[in-house]
Chain A
């Protein structure tokens, strides 16, 4: 899910601020708004805000701790980050019991077994959907159409994140048909796929060995994601997996070649095969086609890499990739293997 929490925080306060200016005269409103950016960055408390805005800001802080700092923290500081993140989320909920993001994040993968998380998300989905839809309806009543649209859009985002989380969890739980129907539901609410659920969907089609489904998704990319072509790590790894499953190893090698061309340092990433926890708020933000994006794609593709009775512990496709890449680029593979050994020995 490519949701930028900081940007959303900014948008929320900007909307709130704009409302307070409506009563005044337009000239001073323009002047006031020029100071908004500075006040947002340096003196946030001086800006008008509701408890739900404050709660969302705490969610942003928790996201920074849990999604952007925790995965890279030492063992000593991890517990502290986890507990500070939790405190932020609990405080957010006490300020705004309808802070769905905080509720969802408190039930994150570090906190619960997959099935328990799956059940929790399902149990509360309807009420979250109803609450967000009601909030969006109210927001859409704003007299200024552009503002109304943005406010309604922001009001729905917690629900989009909720469903996207459900899709990710169901994929990990091995409930792939459910992942597909959740992603389709998400597209009906979010036709331009702000949540980047198509990445999760591609993996579900690979899991079900549904070539036609994946081909149809690739065709739909032009509507779902007009600014990104179907050549991201997720869709290519899914296509590669399907070729491997058909035992068409030449086709799999060709797709591997494309991945290596598109993503920098791809060989290292494909041998290292790091497994990162899913972002608690949403899929963490990375630059498209960067090495970091490939790391994320490979990590989420664990469900297709680590399948089958493989003796190396990587899974059948994971082991095939490691072997192929080692033959293509032994230096990168050696560096990855060395770092894997160091990580095992050093605990990081």
Chain B
């Protein structure tokens, strides 16, 4: 979530409403002015709360920097403190504007709950938040985005809780209201289709997004075909996953700890190593369900070679 940029957009739109009519060029000028100093344009509690949230998220991000120097116990304690401080800051933002869905969402997520409790809290919040009523793609309306982010968090939490049909149901609704799928619900849906061994559903999803493929869907396809016992096709799909991005093989064989998404999936360049790390992390529930999948992947000589070369090149452990 780019909280600062959304703040800029929101302030500019509100200011335009006050001004009345404004040409496109005029609006572009206004956006530039707001971007220069957003706080000067904040004049409603909802934007005030968003400023508080943006500050809290930035503080949280900065506090991640020194983790590598900590031992396990120190890290656990630091992480707990950091998440708790973030939740407190979000609660303060919510006290400024109880309608700040993002602050409520981040606060719930920062409590680091198990999938059942997390889902219960997210669904409770969902009950209180109106779904966007927008003509066209809801993502294009910056005021609708918090609601969409909440939906995306519910989709991912369903997957983490091994509720795969519910994952698909929620993902379909989200992609229906925001077909551009900026939040990548299709990635989570691809994993759920693979886990449910639903090849027709998987293919239909792939077709809907122009068969372009991505790190998640390539990995999901390998898992799906493996589960269906089509091993040559599974091998080809695995190769497709590995060839799509640098370090994909390494990310699969050496999964990294990934912090809670606050509030949504961190930005990573398409087909980058960082994206592969995220895809593997999100795939953990479905990979763990296929106990010999990793051993099978590792037994492909080209995959292990690719992983070890990537490790050498980047000075990573192998």
Chain A residues within 8 Å of B, Cβ to Cβ: 113-115, 172-178, 208-209, 244-247, 303, 307-312, 315-317, 319-320
Contacts and interface: CB of A to CB of B under 8 A. Distances in A.
Interface residues of B, number: 27
Contact of A174 (B116, B163, B227): B227
Interface string B294-312: 0110000000000000000
Contacts of A209: 164-165, 196
A320 B166 CA distance: 18
B187 to A, nearest CB: 16
B115 interface: yes
Given A113-B292, A114-B292, A319 B227 contact: no
A261 B189 CA distance: 38
Given A315-B162, A316-B161, 18 more contacts: A115-B295, A115-B296, A174-B289, A174-B291, A174-B293, A175-B197, A175-B229, A177-B197, A177-B227, A245-B166, A247-B119, A247-B123, A309-B284, A310-B114, A310-B115, A317-B162, A319-B114, A319-B116
B164 A172 contact: no
Contacts of B164: 209, 245
Contacts, number: 75
B151 interface: no
A38 B169 CA distance: 65
A308 B227 contact: no
Given A208-B197, A309-B285, A172 B291 contact: yes
B275 interface: no
B160 A173 contact: no
B162 A316 contact: yes
Contacts of A308: 115, 160-162, 285
A221 to B, nearest CB: 24
B131 interface: no
Contact of B166 (A172, A177, A246): A246
A114 B196 CA distance: 20
A311 B160 CA distance: 11
Contacts of B165: 209, 245-246
Contact of A247 (B114, B163, B197, B228): B163
20 contacts: A113-B292, A114-B292, A174-B291, A175-B197, A175-B229, A178-B228, A209-B196, A245-B165, A245-B166, A246-B165, A247-B123, A307-B285, A308-B115, A308-B162, A308-B285, A309-B160, A310-B115, A315-B162, A316-B162, A319-B116
